[in-house]
Amino acid sequence: MVKNMLFNWKSWWWSLHKHNYLLVKLGVSILLLGFAFRLLFSQSTGFSEVSETPFLEKTENPVAPVSDGFGENTDQIPDKEECDLFTGDWIPNPAGPRYSNDSCKFIESHQNCMKNGRPDTRYLYWRWKPQDCGLPQLDPERFLEMMRNKTWALIGDSISRNHVQSLLCILSKVEEAVEVYHDEEYRSRRWNFPSYNFTVSVIWSPFLAKAAIFEDYNGVSTHEIELQIDKLDTNWTKLYQGLDYIVFSSGKWFFKSAIYYENNKILGCHYCPGKNLTELGFNFAYRKVLKNVFNFIVSSNHKGMIFYRTSTPDHFENGEWFNGGTCTRAEPVKEGEFELTELVKILRDIELKEFEKAAAKASEAGVKLKLFDVTPLSLLRPDGHPGPYRHFYPFSKDNKNAKLINDCLHWCLPGPIDSWNDLLTKMIVNG
């Protein structure tokens, strides 16, 4: 076909040449312009794996222009209308992490896997890829510009703190945050990015409800937790209306031994042998508290954006943290290769059901409530935990007689939790 086209074009050209040389030159020029336009058009409609969005940075095809939401335009594949950001796979990322333990001062020692001597580094070279849409990495400069004069708070337990540290590490590539507040135990903290007047807080509230907790920083308890299941924690409720973006989470603390109060009277408990109290179970308390949290949110007339993060899985194998459980895998797994524990399945079932009921009411009330469902993608990363490397060089001669406790719940920094910030940013951009 191409041969015939060329032959016909050649005959036409010689015919014109006999009559009018100038006309031929004009015709050839028009023809060449047509071929050039056709070539350009075919390239501009090609498929790209990463979809650009405001203040997200492109991780592939760096020569292509980036649509940053500030007027520059570029061709891209539009996301599917109902793209599920939380269904996908972890794919290789040769570029590796965006920061290191040397470049970020916000990493706590027990999440500093590289400094603590973890020998394998494969866990650093993966990124989350949703099945039906792109997920570029958060661009810290654009993010900070978009967050100018805004306030963020992540409210929950130590996983929320882990998450905040990841965000601070990524943003510190542009400007290092300044701590402006901490409570007595450094559990609730606040940082500010002065050039942008952007504030990020972590608010310690592991139950989201009012609770008296009698345990130290290492988790050693002297008394059952006293949990007021009908009263929300004022540590976050008093700040709530002044926050532009909020990420709530809870869950695992409800497994702990606790006495439950309602209307200032003992209602029952969870795992309190010898107390002669009704065993109500952690699921009873979790459902009650989540209902109260969501009712508060739905009726709040809040104008910002609110996320509820689902419970994160642990990856203990061959036991639990207290009896020799470990997490020694070096790569992500595929769906179906690792199962949630039965206890986390119960938490997840409560979260999804209560959120579904609240989301419908929130939509009617004009409150932006979104599910930040990191459970499935986090389940695929048994390689991302500190394990024995929550301790400094745990297998050195100096520690050969020390009793090691593996951490298969929190995440190494840098590590898989960094992708949570990409997902949050994408959700904010999508509205």
Contact yes or no for 421/135 (Cβ under 8 A): no
Rounded to whole angstroms, how far apart are CA atoms 313 and 334?
A: 15
Q: Which residues are catalytic?
A: 158, 407, 410
Q: How far apart are CA 144 and CA 191, in angstroms?
A: 13
Q: Which of 288, 296, 291, 289 is nearest to 365 (CA)?
A: 296
If you ran DSSP here, which 8-state letter would residue 387 be given?
B
Please give the Cα distance from 341 to 181 (Å, whole number).
Answer: 37
**What angle do the packed helices 158-171 and 418-430 form, to 10 degrees?**
80
Radius of gyration from C-alpha coordinates of the chain? 27
Q: How far is CA 260 from the centre of its chain?
A: 32
Listed residue (258, 256, 255, 262) closest to 291, CA to CA: 262
Backbone angles phi, psi at 272, to 5 degrees: -135, 65
Strand ranges for 21-103 from DSSP E: 56-57, 88-92
How far apart, in whole angstroms, are the C-alpha atoms of residue 420 and residue 307?
12
The amino acid occupying position 97 is P
Task: Say how far apart CA 247 and CA 306 lie, in whole Å.
Answer: 6
Instruction: Name every residue whose Cβ is closer than 8 Å to that of residue 409 and which is 6 or more positions away in sequence.
Output: 159, 252, 312, 314, 321, 385
